[in-house]
Amino acid sequence: MYRGFGINDKRDIGGKEDYEVLVSERTYRFSFFRCPRARVMIGILLLLYLGIWFILYPFKINKLFDVFLFMVLPTILATYVIPYLGWYEEKIKFEQSLLLALSSLIVTSFFIVFYDFLGLNAPLIIFIGYAIPVSLRYIVFRTVFISDPLKPLLHTLFQSIVALPFIHLIFPLNLADIVLFLLVSVVGLSAVIAFIGLINRPFLKDFDVSGTDLIRMAYQLYIGEEKGKKDLEEIFRRTSIKSDVNYTVFSFKNEEKEKSLFIIPELHPGPIKGIAGAMLPEMLSNKLEDKHGTVFTFHGCSTHVQNPIRKEDCLMLVKDIENAVDEINYTNVGTSFHTTHQGLFAGAQVLGDGLFLTVSFSPHPTEDIDAPIGEIASLKAGEKGYSRVGFIDAHNCIKKGAMEVYYPSRRYRTIIEKTNEIIDRLKDSEMGVVHMGISSMDGYVKSEGIAGDGIKVAVFEVNGRKNALVLIDGNNMERGLREKIQEELSDLVDISEIHTTDSHEVNTLNRDYNPVGFAMDHSLIIDEVRKITEEAILDLEPVQIGVHTGTLPNFPLMGPLGSHRLNAVAESVYQVAPIAAGMSFAVQFLATSLILLLFV
């Protein structure tokens, strides 16, 4: 999934798909954590310097030094001194300090230009202009770097206060000027403190943690600090549930050793890079591959409700699988891969005494399939004689705004009808000796949409028919890419299906929408998959297959309360915050104008 914690509703009207894109689905969500290059910011500083000089003192070269004193020098001092003021819970970097000082100067410059247009005298508009951005700096320090409401005051006031002596050198200030400066600063701080309270209230009510603390945790997560990860996992724990989590394992071995594991857990590898279960596929491979061969972690039916709470909890699945594989009974027979394509792609194959069953709505974009749907489909298969079922959501077609599949939607009914149909066809399918070949490639860049488990391909040959199961460690797939890969493989195998693991290791706060093929050229992916498939075909050999279905009792999950409520609150704040911030600055601007009108 791509919305972090989202659910929404999809509307089908006249067969056309109408998708609503949430505010929080935007590709770049936390861009304010990113800093422009220092030379770009220095260039902007010089432009501001020359611009204010020209507005206040057009063509008066002798005033260039005066403007440098009250514009550039305070900005440089703030940039270099603020990182050393202390009390930081997260250390502010030079580029961030420069960006904040420059942003403050931009606000100051705007008000200097505005009040100059109204005809106010230069000394007044300059020191009042320096009082205005106090509120901006307080928001940044309070939400990102220092949680205490009082300690950021020194950092907040530093740039404005350090400018006063330089202003005084050019325009001597009196006590009334200082009082006016402090009054405007207090008005701004009061407005922004009220704004912060508005943002904090819903989070404190629902999660016993403030919105500013959540922003700070998000920043820590963004820069890769373990503290932010642990703190966010602790928030998830507070609203977590304990649930029985089902999983299915297919174990394959040749004459010498175990060759591969197919793992289909009803766990969701989310919610976002670095925390909870986002690394589930890669973690299972790291823990199990040395002993059990290449691990394929397919996306079982699950949504963010089934997110593990902590990375450590995922090890419970590792331990259970290791115990189960030691007791599996093996056989060497199965069927070829059978499919249906009407309204839904459903593919099924008997492997040993288990049923491998995968579904996709491609080319129609779809998000996660809810866990109960997989449970119902597996129970239906059990009624037809298949007690061990691995039900996979292929998760291979997406565009922004695509919706999950929930019971009792039309798509749920389609899944049940078509999987029943394909299972009935398997009854008449000829059993044969199963040959299997595998190959894989890793080392991809997560920001390009493929996580640490890379691309894996398993090719089966039964009774002369070959099918390829492609698994890419990513979060869904760009619409149309699946079909391109299938066409490329059509001369190598009789049929193929393309899967993604739904790994949220490719999703960051800065790029929440990053399906396979979004940031990486399609032709490169297609070429890689073909090469790996060719290698897997060369690896074909007879295998023994063992199947196990298990349950992890009392497994801690994010649950509906944690995922849906956090999404609702975060969505509200995301929409309200810009309005509330704008209103707080508007209040400050109007109050400042009123003060100037009354006292100047």
* Dist. CA 272–CA 292, nearest whole Å: 28
pLDDT at 26: 43
How are strands ordered across the β-sheet holding 544-557?
294-297, 258-265, 241-253, 544-557, 330-331
Which amino acid would we find at residue 142? Answer: R
CA dihedral 141, 145, 151, 152 (to 10 degrees): -10
Peptide bond into 408 cis (omega under 30): yes
* Dist. CA 325–CA 267, nearest whole Å: 19
pLDDT at 45: 95
pLDDT at 32: 47
Residue 547's DSSP bridge partners are 250
Identify which of 375, 473, 381 has the alpha carbon closest to the alpha carbon of residue 418: 381
- Residues with Cβ within 8 Å of residue 232, at least 6 apart in sequence: 217, 218, 221, 275
pLDDT at 191: 85
Peptide bond into 271 cis (omega under 30): yes
Which amino acid would we find at residue 218? Answer: A
User: 260 and 582 in contact (C-beta within 8 Å)?
Assistant: no
pLDDT at 566: 58
Give me the residues of the chain with pLDDT under 70, please. Answer: 1-34, 222-226, 509-510, 561-577, 579-581, 599-600
pLDDT at 510: 67
Question: pLDDT digits over 357-403, tens only?
Answer: 999 999 999 999 999 999 999 999 999 999 999 999 999 999 988 88
Which amino acid would we find at residue 394? Answer: A
CA dihedral 55, 58, 62, 65 (to 10 degrees): 20
* Dist. CA 549–CA 387, nearest whole Å: 9
Peptide bond into 363 cis (omega under 30): yes
* Dist. CA 195–CA 177, nearest whole Å: 27
Residue 354's DSSP bridge partners are 351
Residue found under tokens 């290698």: 535
Pairing type for strands 11-13 and 16-18 reads antiparallel
Pairing type for strands 294-297 and 258-265 reads parallel
Identify which of 514, 517, 464, 516 has the alpha carbon closest to the alpha carbon of residue 493: 464
* Dist. CA 370–CA 407, nearest whole Å: 7
Residue 30: phi and psi, rounded to 5, are -115, 45
Provide the sign of the torsion angle of the four alpha carbons 396, 397, 401, 404, taken in this order: negative
Any idea where the domains of the chain sit in the sequence?
35-222+567-599, 241-557
Q: Please, what is the Cα angle at 314 between 529 and 222, to 5 degrees?
A: 75
HSE, side-chain direction, 13 A CA sphere, residue 111: 25
Residue 55: which H helix or E strand, with range?
helix 38-56
Residue 46 CB neighbour total at 10 angstroms = 11
Measured in whole angstroms, the distance separating CA 552 from the mean position of its chain's CA atoms is 27
- CA separation, residue 538 to residues 109, 289, 437, 499, 532 (Å): 68, 21, 7, 21, 10
Residue 340's DSSP bridge partners are 346
Which amino acid would we find at residue 358? Answer: T
